[in-house]
Amino acid sequence: MNELPNLPEQGAQPAPGQGAPQVPPAAPRSGLFETLRQPLPAAVSVLAVLLVAHMWSTHSRINSMRADVARMLQKDEQVAAETSALAREVSEQSKQLQVKVGVLESRQQEAQSQQAALEQLYQDLSKNRDEWALSEIEQVLSTASQQLQLAGNVQGALIALSNADRSLSRSDKPQFITIRRAIAHDMEKLKALPAVDLAGVALRLDNVIAEVDSLPLLSDEKPLLPAPPAPRAKARKNAPAPAPAQPLTLGQRMTDTWRAWSTEMWDDIRQLVRVRSVETPEALMLSPTESYFVRENLKLRLLNARLALLSRNESAFRDDLNTAQTMLLKYFDTRARSTQAAQSALRQVQANNLTIEMPTLADSLNAVRNYKAK
C-alpha cells in the first residue's frame, strides 16, 4: 500500500539552528485527498480476498502434494520393503553362492594340486624308468665291452647291442635316436670283423687234452709177446685126409728140429734186445711218477693255450702250443697213430690267426652316459 507523506504537525517548532521552514505554495487539498481515500478499502478488500484465495489454493495444493507425497512415500516404503526383502534374499543367495564357489574353488585347487602331483609322479616314474633302463643298458654294454676286449666274444657283444637297441625301441622316444645310432654303428663294426671259430679251436684242444692219458710214452715200451702157435690139431681136423706120409729120414728130421729150435731161439732173442734210435735218451728212463708229471705238464700247457685262445693272447697261445709239440716229440712215441693225430690237431690249431684288433663299444657307452648326464 502507498504511504502518505508525513506532514508537519501544527504548532511544531522548528529545530534550533534551522531556519524558518519554507512553506510550499498551498494546493487544493480537499480534491486530491478524497480521491486517494475512496478506493483504498476496496483495494484492501480485493487484496485480502486474493490473499485468502491464494492461501486456500496454496493450502489445497500443499495438501494435495502432501497426499501425493504420502502415497509416493507409501509406495516407496512398499518398494523399499520389497527391495529390502529381495536384497536379503539376494544376499542370502549370494552368501550361499559364495559358500558354493568357495567349496568349488577349494575342490578345484585340490584337484589342481592332485593333478600336479600326478603329473610330477608320472614324470618322476617316467624319468626313473628311463634312468633304470639306461642304467641297465649301460651295465650290459660295459660287460659286453669287457668280454669283447678280454675274451674276444664278438657274438656276445652283438647280442648285448641287439638287446639294448630292442629295449630302446620299446620306449619310442626321439631322445634315444642318438643312442640307437651309436649302437647301430658299433654293430656294423663288429659284423665287419673276420670270423674266428674260437669254439671249434677250443674243442680241438679239449679233444687233445682228453687223449693225453692214452698217448704212449717212449718209456712205456714193452716187449712184444710171441705169436701163439698155430692150432695144428684143429687144422688137421679141418684139412682133408692127406695121403699116407712116407717115413722121414734121419737127416730130414734133424733139419726140421734145428730149424724149429733156431726159429724159437731167435724169437726169444729178438724179444730181449731191441735197437732204436732216440734223440733224447732220458725220455726212456722216466719213472712212473715222472711219466705222470709229464702227462700233467702237457695237459697244463694245452689248458694254458686254451685260455690264451679265449683271451686273444697270441704270444702265449703260440708259446704254449710250441711247448706242447716239443713235449710230444721228446717224451711220446711219435710212431703211434694217436700221437700223430694229436700232433696233426695241434698243427691245425696253430694255423688259426688270433691277431685281430677288437673294436670297443665306446660310442654306445658314451652316448648312454651323455644322455644320463643331461
Mean pLDDT over residues 228-255, rounded? 57
What is the predicted pLDDT for the residue at 143?
85
Q: Does residue 61 carry a pLDDT above 60? A: yes
What is the predicted pLDDT for the residue at 19?
45
DSSP structural state of residue 351: T
Residues 305 and 175 occupy one common structural domain: no
Residue 250 lies in a domain: no
What is the predicted pLDDT for the residue at 43?
77
Residue 274 lies in a domain: no
**pLDDT tens digits, one per residue of 264-309:** 777 766 666 555 555 565 666 677 788 888 899 999 999 999 888 8
DSSP structural state of residue 190: H
**pLDDT tens digits, one per residue of 6-48:** 444 444 444 444 444 444 554 444 454 455 555 677 778 888 8
Residues 182 and 212 occupy one common structural domain: no
Mean pLDDT over residues 252-258, rounded? 80
* Buried b / exposed e along 321-359 (16+ C-beta atoms within 10 A): bebbbebbeebbbeeeeebeebbeebeebeeeebeeebb
Residues 298 and 364 occupy one common structural domain: no
Residues 149 and 189 occupy one common structural domain: yes
Output the pTM of the full model: 0.42
Structurally, the chain folds into a number of domains equal to 2
Q: Does residue 87 carry a pLDDT above 90? A: no
What is the predicted pLDDT for the residue at 319?
92
User: Which residue type sits at 187?
Assistant: M
What is the predicted pLDDT for the residue at 82?
85
Residue 213 lies in a domain: yes
Range of the domain at 332: 196-221+281-356
For the domain that residue 141 is a member of, what is the CATH number? 1.20.120
